[in-house]
Each structure stands twice: as structure tokens, then as C-alpha cells.
Amino acid sequence: MVKAAVVFSFSITRSYKRCLCTFVSLFLVLLVCGCASVPETIRDIQNLTQDHMSYIDKSSSERELVTADDQKKMDDHYNSQYFGPWHRDKPYYQIDIVERAFKKYRKNLGYGESGRKLRKSWLKALIASADLEHYPNSGLTAITIGSADVRVMPTHKPRFFDASYSHNGYPFDTLQESSIAPNTPLYISHVAKDKDWVLVETPYVVGWMSVRSIAFVDSDFIKAWETGQYAVFIKDKIPLYDAEGRYLFRVPLGAMFPKVGEDEKTITLRVALADDNGKARMRTAVVSKDAATAKPLKLAHFNIAKIANELINEPYGWGGLYQNRDCSALIKDIFAPFGIWLPRNSTDQAHEGGTFIDLQNLSPAEKEAMIMKQGMPYLTLLWRRGHIMLYVGNYQGKPLIFHNIWSVRTQDLLGRVGRKIVGHAAITTLNPGLEFRNDDTPRNNYVNSILGMTILINPNNPQHPHPSLPPREGGKQEEVFRNEVQE
């Protein structure tokens, strides 16, 4: 009996020691996690040179990737798409698309800028303001007179999926559709009840725009504007002044204007402003040739890298919020100077931007091998649901990408999941932030979620597929909030 008691006592003591060791181990893990300094950014950005010129072949970087004739065909297509809104005799989008957001958010009103849940009265007021019972009630043409936001509903107020400052909350204002560059052609299909908002069809998105952001144009204006000779900006957020030196607006990289003259150092542009009656009036502006060039810019690796370098560290802006770019806007604007037309949405860019190669059924290792074998540096897009990336090339046996990301998924030693904010455009590997994830299971491996690659242009067969009008369903998808790398 005594022997049994001793054995029992020894067993308890051993169990106690195991528990104590486990407790001490957990305590040390928590201590290390709490005391260790957290890097300001992800390892890829620290270790990889953030300069596109470092990743191109200098010996052939200035060789044209397509003939001048082929590039002109692509540029002509770009221009026809860009000016398309001025040549419509009826709305492109049907009422079911226009009112989709109003119906969708009845099920989940979301949260406002104060973090409080929105009330039914909020949605009811917007429905009354939109007056879609009378859609379409217009058919006018217009032009933006500065950088402008396209909204899903006629309001500047935000709507968030939840109230947190996370990948479901700020800065993902779900009512932000896109930002639009100054002097972009518009078709106005509808005017809100109070005439303070107009429903606009831009070259690539549809949505609501403040009437203060537009000026109306007529057929004479359009004829004078569509000269066939255009300049495109190759630097970002450049202040533009009229001939008298008065400030007009800032111009983003990729924006185009009619070119009316040039000398050795400058280009003279045609710009549009609103008169007292809300009609567009033309003026001239002069810009340095360092900031703008004749469109299209020669398609060569050197020029693509030069344009991409202008957008290194570009702050992330969901839907162009604060006149910044999300991932698809970054890609679209990189290729705009070359006359390569791309849709605004990442999914559409992947499926309509060129030759799509499905990678879904491959393992991560097979995907990397396929990308490096068939991908063409600076002419290939990589796509995962809600995110689009530009393939930079093979570096030390691994593919590199350029993309604009909000955050990466993290997981600590205790299995707690979180996010690390990146918040800008950067060159990374296909697994950004891997050091913040405690395991490399398929769920945590970003390569595993890549669904396809898109060859924009094959220099050996340069027939670009010429993506046309945006899909009639249009719009961003809330599924992006469930993704690991955010668009």
C-alpha cells in the first residue's frame, strides 16, 4: 500500500514538472514575442533592391518589343476605348447594374466613418436622392475638370464592411469605385434628384460623381479635342499651369491630353476647365518633356522599368482613395503611356488583358517553375483572387513581382492570426511577409493562391487581344476583404 502511494506521489510530481516546464516555455515565448522589436516593414522590401533598373537586361533594354506599326494599332484601340463615352447614344449599363449596390447593402448596411452601424434611414435617403425610378433621365457628354472620385452611391461619406481598423474596415471604403484623372471623357446617363450628383460612364467604370467635378461638352468641343495627337504623363502627380502661370490641377502618371505643339524642352497641351455656366472651355498649358511625352511611348524594357520606378512606394489607395492607387490601378497606369489598354478591375485585367494561362491545378513549386519558364518579364501579370501583380523576372532562382499591397497575413508561435501593414507599391517575392507566418502550409503560402498568369504581349506574336468595354456587371467585389494580400 505504501509502495503504491509512493508511486502515485512520484507520478503526480512528474506531471507537475511537465506542466511547469510547459508553462515556463509558454511564458518565455510570450516574453520573447513581447520584447522582440517588430521590423518596420517586411523582409522582402528590406532585402530586395527597390529599383526596377536592377532587374532588366541592360544589353537589350532599349530594344523595341513590338514594331511601331503594331504599337500604333494598340494605341489606336486605346484611344477608341478612352473616348468611347463621348460616342454613345444611350447608356451602356442597364438599370439592374446601376441599382445593384442599393439592393446589396440592404442585407448588410455596414458602418460609417464614426464606427457606428449605419441605419436604414441612411440607405433610404440615398435611394431617394438617386431617383433611379426615372433612370435614365440624361444623355449628356462631359469631361472631368480635375481629379475626381467615382462613387458606388451618390455620397462622399464612406461605408465600411465592419467597424475595425483592419482588412475589413478602414481604409476599405466600399463606396469608392475609382479615381479618375483630370480631363477624362464622360457620358452622363442620369442626374440625381437634387442635381448635385451625376451617374457617369467613364472609359472603364460606372458610378456617381459630384457635379462640381465635371463640365459639359458639345460636339464642337469633342471634335476640337480629339486631334489624334496626344501627350501622356510619365511622371506622377505633376502640377499643371495654364499659359498665364495659374495653377490648374495635379496630373497622375498615365493621363493623356491633346498635344498642340512642342519645342526642345516642353510640350504644349490642350486642357479643359469649366466656365460660369458649367460648360467646358479650352486653355493651353505647358509641361516639361521630363514629365510628359508624345503618346505612345516606345515599348521597351527600359521604358517600362522607368515608368514602374515612378510608382515605387506609391501609397496604397483602395479604389483610388486619396488619389492613390490600388493594385489594378497601378498596373493599368504603368501600361497607359505605351497605349496598352487594360480594364480597371484585377479579375478583368487577368482574363481580358492578354493570353491567360490557368495555374489553378499546379502545386506552388510547379507554379513558380511555370511562371519563370513562360512568363515574360514586365509583360506578364500574375493573378490571385482580388489581387494583380506584374512579373519582374527571375532573381536568384525565384520569381519577383511588383505590386501595390495593403497588408500581409501573419501568424505567431501561438497560432494567433493578424496582419502586417505594407501599404505601398513594392518589389517582392511571391511570398511577401513569409517571416511573419509561423508555418508554410498551403493556406499560408501565397503562391498556392495564384490562379493564373496573363501574357500581355508576346514579342514573337504581338497581336494584343484588345480588351474592350468593361463587363456590364462592373464594380469591385467585397470578396477582396477575405483575401490575404489586398487589392
Establish if 146 belongs to a structural domain.
yes
CATH of the domain at 237: 2.30.30.40
Could you say which DSSP state residue 471 is in? P
The residue from 163, 187, 213 where one domain ends is 213
Q: Is the pLDDT of residue 148 over 90?
A: yes
φ/ψ of 67, rounded to 5, equals -70, 160
Q: Say what the pLDDT of residue 165 is.
A: 63
Q: Is the pLDDT of residue 249 over 60?
A: yes
Q: Is 193 helix (H, G, I), strand (E, B) or coil?
A: coil
Establish if 6 belongs to a structural domain.
no
Same domain, 246 and 341: no
Answer with the residue of higher pLDDT: 421 or 168. 421
The closest alpha carbon to 336, from 376, 295, 393, belongs to 295
Contact indicator for 337, 307 with CB cutoff of 8 Å = yes
Of 134-148, 355-369, 456-470, the one with minimum mean pLDDT is: 456-470
Same domain, 121 and 235: no
Same domain, 279 and 390: no
Q: Is the pLDDT of residue 230 over 50?
A: yes
Establish if 325 belongs to a structural domain.
yes
Same domain, 442 and 342: yes
Q: Is the pLDDT of residue 64 over 80?
A: yes
The residue from 274, 297, 320 where one domain ends is 297
CATH of the domain at 411: 3.90.1720.10
Residues recorded for the chain: 487
Establish if 1 belongs to a structural domain.
no
Establish if 102 belongs to a structural domain.
yes
Same domain, 141 and 177: yes
Answer with the residue of higher pLDDT: 115 or 140. 140
Same domain, 189 and 314: no
Q: Is the pLDDT of residue 74 over 50?
A: yes
Q: What average pLDDT does the segment 164-192 reach?
A: 90
Tell me the CA distances in angstroms from 459 to 225, 236, 342, 395, 476, one per residue in order.
33, 28, 18, 22, 32
Same domain, 99 and 59: no
Establish if 165 belongs to a structural domain.
yes
Establish if 348 belongs to a structural domain.
yes
pLDDT tens by residue, 8-44: 444 445 555 555 555 545 444 444 444 455 677 899 9
Q: Say what the pLDDT of residue 26 is.
A: 47
Same domain, 205 and 277: no
Establish if 16 belongs to a structural domain.
no
High-pLDDT (> 90) share of the chain, %: 77
Same domain, 476 and 332: yes
pLDDT tens by residue, 256-312: 999 999 999 999 999 999 999 999 999 999 999 999 999 999 999 999 999 999 999
Question: Average model confidence (pLDDT) for the chain?
Answer: 88
Q: Say what the pLDDT of residue 442 is.
A: 57
- Structural domain harbouring 283: 227-297
Q: Say what the pLDDT of residue 17 is.
A: 54
Tell me the CA distances in angstroms from 319 to 14, 122, 237, 354, one per residue in order.
60, 22, 17, 23
Tell me the CA distances in angstroms from 431 to 175, 312, 434, 437, one per residue in order.
30, 19, 6, 10
Same domain, 466 and 331: yes
Sheet architecture: strand order including 380-384: 355-358, 450-455, 380-384, 387-395, 398-411, 417-429
The total of structural domains in the chain comes to 3
pLDDT tens by residue, 89-130: 999 999 999 999 999 999 899 999 998 999 999 999 999 999
Provide the β-strand partners of residue 389. 382
Which residues have a Cβ under 8 Å from the Cβ of 251 and sit 6 or more positions away?
181, 182, 233, 237, 238, 239, 240
pLDDT tens by residue, 408-419: 988 888 888 888
Same domain, 293 and 305: no
Which residues have a Cβ under 8 Å from the Cβ of 114 and sit 6 or more positions away?
none
Q: Is 369 helix (H, G, I), strand (E, B) or coil?
A: helix
Q: How crowded is residue 171: how many other Cβ atoms within 10 Å of its Cβ?
A: 18
Same domain, 314 and 252: no
Q: How confident is the model at residue 2 (pLDDT cuts 50, 70, 90)?
A: very low
The residue from 297, 325, 345 where one domain ends is 297
